[in-house]
Amino acid sequence: MTQDMTPLLNVTNLSISFGGLRAVDDFDITVKKGQLYGLIGPNGAGKTTVFNLLTGVYRPDVGKIFLEDENITNMKTMDINKAGVGRTFQNIRLFKKLTVLDNVKVGLHNRFHYSTLEGIFRLPRYRSIEKIMNEEAYKLLKVFDLENEADYLAGNLPYGKQRKLEIARTLATNPKLLLLDEPAAGMNPNETKDLMKTIRFVRDEFDMTILLIEHDMKLVAGICEELTVLNFGKVLMSGETNAVLNDSRVITAYLGED
């Protein structure tokens, strides 16, 4: 268990303003390796902004982001991914005109290499590497029960499967930390239940650390071990899931005062 003591993600003092609005104000979070961690809060609290800061879409005004020992503050989005942070999006962002298989293979892009010329002239390395990429991609598709749809265009998949494909594509980049932005958004209760199983499975199977934003309290209570509550860009409280969800301050933030 000593390994569990080192935080995988350590964020301190993170702040960003847009015009006069402090969207995220002095945000701290520590996620340990292997944890399933939830980031919750009312609409407009700044949760997605935090994700955008963590993945380099926005540069923070102040604050530090550490992934294990590596300072990833101010790094470019693509380098943050290479450092080991993968994410999904609130409004699903798939490559809609590519096949399901190719979506995952784009995710594998930085793990398997051959040159442009080897690709154009179909040299032996092209064949061998493509074969390995196909195998790896199918392995992931099988995990998410998508292997029968491998040749479909991603845009034609039903909603629930699009969510799964987005997670599969992100896992293809072999991240250490997986950020899920409202994975249950737009899902019916059955799909949500299925999703909870998938998320737990991903954590166990891939030995993954997961930080997720979610509004669905059933999902949050069901799978998250620890929570941080964000309200008006500030951390309202952090702690073990049950304690947080029963805290009067959190209830007030969500439901308003009597």
Partner 1 sequence: MEKIPKIWRENLITYGMVIIAYAVMQILISFGLVSRLVQGLLVPLCIYVILAVSLNLTVGILGELSLGHAGFMCLGAFAGAFFSKVTVDAITFSPVRFFLAILIGAAVAGLFGFLIGMPVLRFRGDYLAIVTLAFGEIIKNVINALFVGLDSNGVHFSLSDRAALGLLDDGDVIINGAQGIIGTPQDSNFTVGVLLVLLTLFIVMNLIRSRDGRAIMSIRDNLIASESIGIHVTKYKLMAFSISAALAGVAGVLYSHNLNSVAASPRAFGYNMSIMILVFVVLGGIGNIRGSMIAAIVLTLLPEMLRGLDRYRMLIYAIVLIVMMLFNWSPKILEWRERHSLRELAGRLRGRSKV
CB 78, min distance to partner 1, A = 5
- Please report how the helices 159-171 and 189-206 are oriented relative to each other, as an axis angle in degrees rounded to 10: 10
Proportion of the chain in helix, strand, coil states, percent, rounded to 5: 40, 25, 35
Pick between residue 153 and residue 221 the one whose CB is nearest to partner 1. Answer: 153
Binding partner 1 by CB under 8 A: which of 1, 5, 120, 255? 120
Asked if residue 95 binds partner 1 (CB under 8 A), the reply is: yes
Cβ atoms of 28 and 14 closer than 8 Å: yes
Least distance CB 97 / partner 1 (angstroms): 5
Please tell me the count of residues contacting partner 1 according to CB under 8 A. 44
Q: Considering beta carbons, is residue 106 or 221 the nearer one to partner 1?
A: 106
**Of 126-134, 209-217, 224-232, 243-251, which part binds partner 1 (CB under 8 A)?**
126-134
Q: Under the criterion CB under 8 A, does residue 116 sit at the interface with partner 1?
A: yes
**Binding window for partner 1 (CB under 8 A); candidates: 9-17, 22-30, 37-45, 70-78:** 70-78
Binds partner 1 by CB under 8 A, chosen from 12, 42, 48, 57: 57
- Give the position of tokens 């960003």: 16
Neighbours of 38 (CB within 10 A): 25
127 versus 249: smaller Cβ distance to partner 1? 127
Angle at 202 between CA 150 and CA 13, to 5 degrees: 120
Site for partner 1 in 170-199 (CB under 8 A): 170, 172-173
Nearer to partner 1, 105 or 203 (CB): 105
**CA-wise closest residue to 234 among 19, 29, 20, 10:** 29
Q: Which one among 133, 187, 202, 245 touches partner 1, defined by CB under 8 A?
A: 133
Which lies closer to partner 1 via its Cβ, residue 104 or residue 253? 104
Q: Which residues contact 249 (CB under 8 A, 6 or more apart)?
A: 236, 237
Q: In this structure, are residues 94 and 149 in contact, taking their beta carbons and an 8 Å threshold?
A: no
Sequential DSSP letters for 28-84: EEEEETT-EEEEE-STTSSHHHHHHHHTTSS--SEEEEEETTEE-TT--HHHHHHHT
CB of 234 to partner 1, least distance (A): 26
Nearer to partner 1, 151 or 258 (CB): 151
Q: Is 162 an interacting residue with respect to partner 1 (CB under 8 A)?
A: no
- Phi-psi region at 41: left, alpha or beta (left = phi > 0; alpha = psi -120 to 50): left
> Quick one: which of 22, 32, 33, 82 contacts partner 1 (CB under 8 A)?
82
Q: Is 59 in the site for partner 1 (CB under 8 A)?
A: no
